[in-house]
Chains A and B, each alone.
Chain A
């Protein structure tokens, strides 16, 4: 492989460089192939690559939402329909407020502090 590909960013790793040229001869890089796979499974995935959605999710880690009105209405629905609405989101996007926590869902209070096994 002696052809130089224009605009290629400098890399000190020669092997990857040659590999890249070989793969490019097949038009699509492995990374782009993976992207195609992903878009096929999640067609609604955000147009903006790795953008605000991911960042916002990261910033909101740990946030718990609870509305007593929603909670009571959901409880009432259970009495009528014997079934809570499906909760698991199909895609990566989470819709705030859709999931009403019930006493069964809330994780038990963390057990009393135990010594680390590394010190055992």
Chain B
């Protein structure tokens, strides 16, 4: 079924897959975040082992006009390491929860990466030239005796093998008692926010020893705790506006101009619930796992366990669009609660034009919805479909009694193969899909 994400003849093709093939997946290799930079030239991944791998798109070559630029490894480094907080008896995982790129301001690239407690600003710079013919030192770097220098020469720049270096430039620590779930760079390019279960903090990118608390939902008595913050994001254009979502399925939009502490929201988004359909699971499956503004800044999208909702920022009482991701799981909630899958946190993303949205599901399936045509498609990230430029076939889960050929029944779905993290190139139809320890890159078919 074509047509999602582009015109009517649009189809997705396999482009690349990164990662090991072996069945035994080491926990450290599980990808925990995927993010394109602003131009789409770079693609960063973080994993449970605290490592970051950055891929760079190759320039399109005249020799192979049919293959769009491929993504190859540009840099890799250990961002976070496991720690133990002795004072609180707390084990701090090195898992990278989120990576967010900073807008590029010079030749170097910068990104923020965070684990549960500490945010780090990494600068990635490359060198492809070196100077030769220094006056004060030898070719091997040893300083020359200044009295021995009898003539001056001008050093020359010579090409060298490209060397990419990543260095931590800022470490933003000790500001979160609870586990950080989100970071978001502000449109002013000077500040960013970080959110944990109960608080949201505002930082200046240059200042590491101070951060402003702008939201605090911790109750005076922890027994009264009813909801936690699940995600937060800055508005893409208005630097005074941000949103945060909760485990109760609500979103609060705050304006930092209104007060120093944004405990009182400016807007409150919640879809009214039908009280007759309420069950033990209602609150759990309404918990929002991701919130993303559209590029236009006019809409925002939220992901809860079974659906994706698009909200118009001007309408608080209900979403303008609701897309069912895997409604067939509603009759499996008991077992999904027992195996903890009901707590899986799926992310969602917009395409560059805000005309399509994508999110993951189980069995290495991921879903795309076209907002204009209202068409949707289910695709699979699997090694079986990994011939270069192979067109991805639409997948279908059979919900009724009769299972058609090529359909898969709900009971056959592999719930260990979850696609939680996906990313869409900011300008083109290129997507990155993280399937446990493998990263798949798909592109649109070139005619």
Chain A residues close to B by CB (< 8 Å): 7-13, 16, 20, 29-35, 37-39, 41, 45, 49-52, 54-56, 58-59, 61-66, 110, 113-120
Contact = CB atoms under 8 A, between A and B. Distances in A.
Contacts of A12: 321-322
15 contacts: A13-B324, A34-B281, A34-B330, A35-B280, A38-B337, A55-B225, A59-B225, A62-B91, A63-B91, A114-B28, A116-B49, A117-B29, A118-B45, A119-B53, A120-B20
A64 B51 contact: no
A55 B20 contact: no
Interface string B113-139: 000100000000000000000000000
A113 B79 CA distance: 11
B78 A113 contact: yes
B322 A49 contact: no
Contacts of A37: 334
Interface string B27-40: 01101000000000
A31 B53 contact: no
Q: Max chain B CB contacts within 10 Å: which of A30, A34, A37, A113? A: A34
Nearest to B93: A62
Contact of A52 (B31, B226, B273): B226
Contact of A113 (B81, B178, B197): B81
Q: Is the interface of B mostly helix, strand, loop or mixed?
A: mixed
A55 B247 CA distance: 9
B220 to A, nearest CB: 15
Contacts of A50: 280-284
Given A45-B280, A64-B90, 16 more contacts: A7-B276, A9-B273, A30-B331, A30-B333, A34-B333, A49-B280, A50-B280, A51-B226, A55-B227, A55-B247, A63-B88, A63-B91, A113-B81, A114-B28, A116-B49, A119-B53
Contact of B322 (A11, A41, A62, A118): A11
B417 interface: no
A58 B345 CA distance: 13
Contacts of B51: 113, 115-116
B228 A55 contact: yes
Contacts of A45: 280
B48 to A, nearest CB: 10
A74 B91 CA distance: 23
B388 interface: no
Which 5 pairs across A and B sit closest by C-beta, in order of nearness? Answer: A30-B331, A50-B283, A34-B333, A119-B76, A34-B334
Contacts of B93: 62
B228 A58 contact: yes
Interface size band for B: 35 or more
A118 B198 CA distance: 34
A116 B272 CA distance: 45
Contact of B283 (A30, A49, A66): A49
Nearest to B54: A119
Among A49, A117, A118, A119, residue most surrounded by chain B Cβ atoms (within 10 Å):
A118
Contact of A33 (B89, B323, B331): B331
A39 B90 CA distance: 33
Contact of A116 (B29, B82, B88, B222): B29
Given A37-B334, A50-B284, A58 B197 contact: yes
Contacts of B375: none
A20 B228 CA distance: 30
A9 B247 CA distance: 20
A65 B437 CA distance: 32
A58 B328 CA distance: 27
Contacts of A49: 279-284
Interface in B247-290: 247, 271-277, 279-284
